[in-house]
Chains A and B, each alone.
Chain A
């Protein structure tokens, strides 16, 4: 049972490219990666595409299929309509090398920066004792196949090249969470590290990463949120912080407490003191003024910011107490579409010189 199907595949390299049309034979039970292999064997022998296991285990074949980040080997053709054109494009967030292959070295750099497991000093190999319930929490994160689909959809990386320095992304938040929950890891500062060095504060819990994870790891619910909450507990609870200042005998209380997030003032996102949980709209007065006067070519993209903590010193939303069932809009709840043109932060390359 085979039929000809219409495929559109992005072909090109870092200098540019376009979608090319192919009519390919598709047999019953096939996945998108099979079709790509058939194309390589017939019409497009040099079509570049990564793959290894063909069974959703290695995370090599990440691509965007009809705009959705997917594993090519786990996307069955039967999930598309008979007449539907299937469009396959490379991951958007990373620079293209050729065709469907992108440069994912960003992720390996971030992996290298995350401090490794610290073995307990006084436990000999063979003497490690842990309970199954305790290892299971970390094991969930160790299921990660490093497909980088979560990194690809995270708007903090995708929309803001300049964030890449300070933001490691969901894959590495769960690495930190995994080590934090490891029963025998000797380091105790995993959460603080995530906040201070990995840019956990940039994450505004849009849950896009969890949605695309092919391993169904609950990146936000089980990884990011517990890390954020406990960081808040320990360091950012204003009452605790004030208390430690006021009630210590013989010291004058500090008076300059204006925001609960002082401890993370080194992060560009939080230093603004804004409380908006979205990346698109701007509430920066200068940018707003520029937008009003129609000069928006150089309008600075506002940094995404963590939501403010509530009066108990906690983040206002955990997925359990949130007022809606689904994930919040990745663009923020106060943005409606279509956006007025002056709010778009599109910078036209040719016009750049004029201002």
Chain B
């Protein structure tokens, strides 16, 4: 095929794939560093997944409880992730989040306020103090709109200076990247198509930042949109980078379960933060029965104490409804299995009997709205029915914590946001994602810019690589014998939902791998009807191969990890195993197939590990690690005495 000559070409210093919080923040940083920057997004500008985040952005500003600080936030994050987090990322995140949130105010964001005029902060599962900066229950919308408007303001500056809005930062909306192009082991550009016209487009750039979000579309019950097909994960793998922690998927405990068509759509955790409680069909607040030992000290034992906490958090322990998400999701799952579920197969989330109708409407306007319009349920009068839904992938591109540069054998590739891995360990705390996007988006954008600066020659895009990319992209349209992409997607969702879901078993995981291999054959022959203009069938056909390779990573890693931790629960290995805490499972591509290797976790610095009680560490660390810890504490003590 000689179509390559007609492909639209662009030259940029930094190409950011993804226009969610992470992508936009990265682009702002690259542009501020003076780089010519492109932002690419599968949907329209301002519609990325970040828009859906409800609860808030976690940052230890200490506006509501002045005892909060970065150390406490760091501790909560590590606990939430069951100590599997990359400690350095958790540290950077806890330290830098407040600045990143304050910065948003200088871009025009309007967060809800405290009485003394500061940014208000709300309680959320797993956070010791009220920590989430929020705007009602539409925080993600505020975040993305603010960043979008900041980009516009930079474009207005450029227009004044250079006469064109697009002079230094340009948004390519409804454009999908299907391939990264390399020059040896260096990134040389990105190839994709305009969804609108089906025409191809080639970006030549030495630095690429991946900010493509998650993988939830491989599951049927999910809070994620069509965009979440794991494109960034797959692009990174094919470019020679590695993925870590892919076995850890977060199932949000409270998705809508009724009506069936909206199954999976999220009910924000703020409902529980603001007083909502979970009840089974017998009317019992069952969460008190599910507080695991590691959390026993921080959670209330009686309903009375739990209820007092909302008004007097300093002298009472928090209600167990606010346990980390994995615990709550598992508890709901067990209640339903034990036959104490709601009619539609969930449990009841009740705020109506606990807060006044007026207060509910004021504090949870969009939840009120959502239930009223989608389910015809008035949440100020009746309980909601909720159940677990696939929500977030903790795993992702293995990156250098400080710069966001991808590991593996590729240079010039950076990743930030949900597509990167390590920050959240085995389980993400609510609210930690939005701040993660800002902290690591800024870092990745900045380092991508300085990497581009440091190059002496620009990498070159090879013509045959572009031709191959064109051919792969057009193939589904040229076949007319294969299966429909929609059928294949449904089959993939069944395999993942049934065999690699919340509760996993060895036999099922092995079975899943066999079926995924079969699906791979079928996906290779997928055919899409219609032409190239805005053809969703064709788009899905191209996304399928990404979903498939990422699903394989998840299944393989889930089979390998013989323990239960955070977002990975094995029925056959129900306990958390300190030995496994020392191991990250790393996926890479070997030709076409996924290769899994083990890699030791980096060791936490002494001043960070000493932020924890020994008693708490004992629940997570191996005996050798504990002995090590004791020795370092003794050393430090001696140093003090000297």
Q: A55-B262, A56-B369 are in contact. Are A40 and B112 (CB under 8 A)?
A: no
Q: Is there contact, CB below 8 Å, between A76 and B374?
A: yes
Residues of B within 8 A of A144 (CB): 145
Q: In the bound complex, what is the Cα–Cα distance between A99 and B265 (angstroms)?
A: 27
Q: Any chain A CB within 8 A of the CB of B242? A: no
Residues of A within 8 A of B108 (CB): 116-117, 119, 179, 182, 185
Q: A48-B534, A182-B108 are in contact. Are A31 and B374 (CB under 8 A)?
A: yes
Q: Is there contact, CB below 8 Å, between B44 and A60?
A: yes
Interface magnitude class on chain B: 35 or more
Residues of A within 8 A of B43 (CB): 50, 52, 58, 60
Residues of A within 8 A of B48 (CB): 52
Q: Which residues of B contact A (CB under 8 A)?
A: 43-49, 51-52, 61, 98-99, 102-103, 105-108, 110-113, 116-118, 120, 135-136, 138, 141-142, 145, 149-150, 152-153, 155-156, 165, 173, 196, 225-227, 258-262, 265-266, 366, 369-370, 373-376, 484-487, 490, 528-531, 533-538
Residues of B within 8 A of A101 (CB): 196, 534
Residues of B within 8 A of A55 (CB): 52, 262, 265-266, 370, 374
Give the total of A residues in contact with B, Cβ under 8 Å.
60
Residues of B within 8 A of A334 (CB): none
Q: In the bound complex, what is the Cα–Cα distance between A145 and B144 (angstroms)?
A: 11
Residues of B within 8 A of A130 (CB): 110, 113, 117
What is the distance, in angstroms, from A252's C-beta to the closest C-beta of chain B?
40
Q: Any chain B CB within 8 A of the CB of A284? A: no
User: Which of A46, A52, A78, A128 contacts B49, CB < 8 Å?
Assistant: A52
Beta-carbon nearest neighbor of B111 in chain A: A135
Residues of A within 8 A of B226 (CB): 51-52
Q: Is there contact, CB below 8 Å, between B534 and A52?
A: no
Q: In the bound complex, what is the Cα–Cα distance between A50 and B45 (angstroms)?
A: 13
What is the distance, in angstroms, from B445's C-beta to the closest C-beta of chain A?
18
User: Which of A45, A52, A132 contacts B112, CB < 8 Å?
Assistant: A132
Q: Is there contact, CB below 8 Å, between B106 and A57?
A: no
What is the distance, in angstroms, from B370's C-beta to the closest C-beta of chain A?
6
User: Which of B227, B370, B530 contacts A52, CB < 8 Å?
Assistant: B227
What is the distance, in angstroms, from A221's C-beta to the closest C-beta of chain B?
18
Q: Is there contact, CB below 8 Å, between A108 and B45?
A: yes
Residues of A within 8 A of B487 (CB): 41
Q: Is there contact, CB below 8 Å, between A29 and B534?
A: no
Q: Any chain B CB within 8 A of the CB of A59? A: yes
Q: Any chain B CB within 8 A of the CB of A234? A: no
What is the distance, in angstroms, from A165's C-beta to the closest C-beta of chain B?
17
Q: In the bound complex, what is the Cα–Cα distance between A69 and B89 (angstroms)?
A: 46
Q: Is there contact, CB below 8 Å, between B117 and A129?
A: yes
CB within 8 Å of B: which of A68-117? 74, 76, 78, 97-99, 101, 103-104, 108, 111-112, 114-117
Q: Any chain B CB within 8 A of the CB of A325? A: no
What is the distance, in angstroms, from B543's C-beta to the closest C-beta of chain A?
14
Q: Is there contact, CB below 8 Å, between B47 and A59?
A: yes
Q: Is there contact, CB below 8 Å, between A57 and B98?
A: no
Q: Which residues of A contact B (CB under 8 A)?
A: 13, 27-31, 34, 40-41, 45-60, 74, 76, 78, 97-99, 101, 103-104, 108, 111-112, 114-117, 119, 125-126, 128-132, 135, 138-139, 142-146, 179, 182, 185
Q: Is there contact, CB below 8 Å, between B113 and A74?
A: no
User: Which of A29, A97, A119, A145 contacts B106, CB < 8 Å?
Assistant: A119
Q: Is there contact, CB below 8 Å, between A76 and B225?
A: no
Q: A31-B261, A132-B112 are in contact. Are A45 and B537 (CB under 8 A)?
A: yes
Q: Is there contact, CB below 8 Å, between A98 and B106?
A: no
Residues of A within 8 A of B98 (CB): 126
Residues of A within 8 A of B165 (CB): 112
Q: In the bound complex, what is the Cα–Cα distance between A52 and B262 (angstroms)?
A: 13
Q: Is there contact, CB below 8 Å, between A28 and B259?
A: yes
Q: Is there contact, CB below 8 Å, between A132 and B113?
A: yes
Q: Is there contact, CB below 8 Å, between A57 and B116?
A: no
